[in-house]
Amino acid sequence: MPITAALPQENLWIEGRRSPSASGKTFFVVNPADGKAIAQVAEGAAQDVEAAVQAAARAAQGPWGSMNPRQRARVLFEIARCVREAREELALLETRNTGKPLADSRDEADVAANCFEYYAGAVSKFFGETIPAGSNGLDVTLREPVGVCALIVPWNFPMMIAAWKLAPALACGNTVVLKPASYTPLSALKLAEICAQAGLPEGALNVITGPGAVVGEALSSHPLVRKISFTGETKTGARISKLAADTIKRVSLELGGKSPNIVFDDANLDLCVEKSVFSVFSNAGQDCCARSRAIVQDKIYDRFVEAFVARTRKLVIGDPMDPKTQIGPMISAKQRDHVAGYVELGREEGADLAVGGDVPRSGALAKGSFIMPAVLTQCRSSMRVVQEEIFGPVLCVLRFKTEDEAIALANDTPYGLSGSLWTRDLGRALRVSRAVQTGVLSVNTSTSVYLEAPFGGYKTSGVGRELGMKAMELYSEIKNVFFSQEC
């Protein structure tokens, strides 16, 4: 791998300080747009996890745990302000590390700032109840922190998903150990510095970089970790659940998806195509919510495919630093080859490749892990390309005749994260939204993730709901206290 001359060295973040890993080992982080190393990062292991968890446990008893809610909220508001101030630096860092277009990274820095602000406000609006129980006293519930939380995040939206977890966890008074994915550790380390600058006490947030099978597993089985919040692949989530079971940790999981995009023949086709192209190809298709199965009614199937393919051909794929770029490279050559393998598999299974799927082998794009967005038509639900999460820019198009058939196809995968449906018939929109088994659904648009609203999956797509006030439930315990009036 080509290494640039002055490669930045990044350390772990434990108890408010940068520290090298106990083993002294490091790993390289690469810019997927050109394959060059951009940083050398400390590779944590069990001993580092131990130090981080102990630091978090001390902060839970000490400086962070002892702050009152108003003081906590002030720190979170200040973190939001500092993230805004560092927006451009964060966006550049994230683009160089993930390959996503700069405009997308800027949006994600904004979401991160908004998220800290939202949960700063939530601190004072999340409280217990009084319950009419018993006859001689008062029954109340209290919301208390869970304790040390391990937050394990993936590489597709590293900064945004870290913020989705950090902000509510801290708002509820917990302390955390954040474990970023090995491909993308840089924004998490920067966020830790920003949080410290904003006044978050030492130990309240620790960041341990390193392999999931070592760092993630050590966190998932550590007895002092009381809660795991994980986003990533379904099979990793299953492994974490097993490890966490021995010490009865609270576990919330945001996992994979194979989301349906149901298009009825009365839909606004122009609007639908324009939004649908980005709903599957944005972030180079590396999106758990990617609408990767278009389920299209017979009568408009050909028109949909023709318009979709034409729009796909117009997408600007290229250097993520170029403001005109809409789609950047995939996270790694390995992931790109994995996706190219799926495109080939689709053809072997009998699908038609209507556009894309090729890997640039010459010119500027050949240096990065690019693949051209692909559309597979004439797909059947039994195909592996339709059942499995490809996690790349590949759309599978299926055909249906009746509403019941559309619902059956939509529900015919093990996943249930998100989905969209397009129709101008209100009755049908209501019936189909009730019948589709997903945690989030959008009607006549492709956006279903809002900071203020619950987000999470049915079936093998996850357990629990992030975002909105629901996330506060994930990061707190309920204590019920009955006060007798006789004393």
Cα–Cα distance for residue pair 484/21, rounded to 1 Å: 53
Which residues between 257 and 296 bind ligand NAD (CB under 6 A)?
A: 257, 288
The 24-63 site mask, x for binding ligand NAD (CB under 6 A), equals: ----------------------------------------
255 binds ligand NAD (CB under 6 A): yes
Q: Which of 240, 295, 407, 471 binds ligand NAD (CB under 6 A)?
A: 240
Mark whether 129 is an active-site residue.
no
Nearer to ligand NAD by Cβ, of 141 and 241: the residue is 241
Cα–Cα distance for residue pair 336/371, rounded to 1 Å: 6
Chain position carrying tokens 């249906």: 400
CB of 30 to ligand NAD, least distance (A): 15
Cα–Cα distance for residue pair 111/80, rounded to 1 Å: 10
Nearer to ligand NAD by Cβ, of 150 and 305: the residue is 150
Nearer to ligand NAD by Cβ, of 80 and 240: the residue is 240
Diameter of the chain measured on Cα atoms: 83
CB of 374 to ligand NAD, least distance (A): 18
CB of 192 to ligand NAD, least distance (A): 15
Mark whether 288 is an active-site residue.
yes
CB of 400 to ligand NAD, least distance (A): 25
CB of 434 to ligand NAD, least distance (A): 22
Cα–Cα distance for residue pair 287/391, rounded to 1 Å: 7
Cα–Cα distance for residue pair 173/71, rounded to 1 Å: 11
Which residues between 77 and 106 bind ligand NAD (CB under 6 A)?
A: none
Q: By CB under 6 A, which span of 123-131, 154-162, 303-311, 369-377 interacts with ligand NAD?
A: 154-162
Q: Please answer whether residues 112 and 79 qualify as being in contact, where contact means their C-beta atoms are separated by less than 8 angstroms.
A: no
Q: Which of 56, 396, 417, 441 binds ligand NAD (CB under 6 A)?
A: 417
Out of 254, 389, 466, 473, the active site residue is 254
Q: Which of 78, 104, 108, 389 binds ligand NAD (CB under 6 A)?
A: 389
Which residues between 207 and 236 bind ligand NAD (CB under 6 A)?
A: 212-213, 216-217, 220, 231-233, 236
Chain position carrying tokens 């747009």: 33
Nearer to ligand NAD by Cβ, of 162 and 406: the residue is 162
Out of 288, 289, 379, 396, the active site residue is 288
CB of 286 to ligand NAD, least distance (A): 7
Indicate which residues carry an active-site annotation: 254, 288
Q: Which residues bind ligand NAD (CB under 6 A)?
A: 152-156, 179-182, 212-213, 216-217, 220, 231-233, 236, 239-240, 254-257, 288, 389, 391, 417, 457, 462
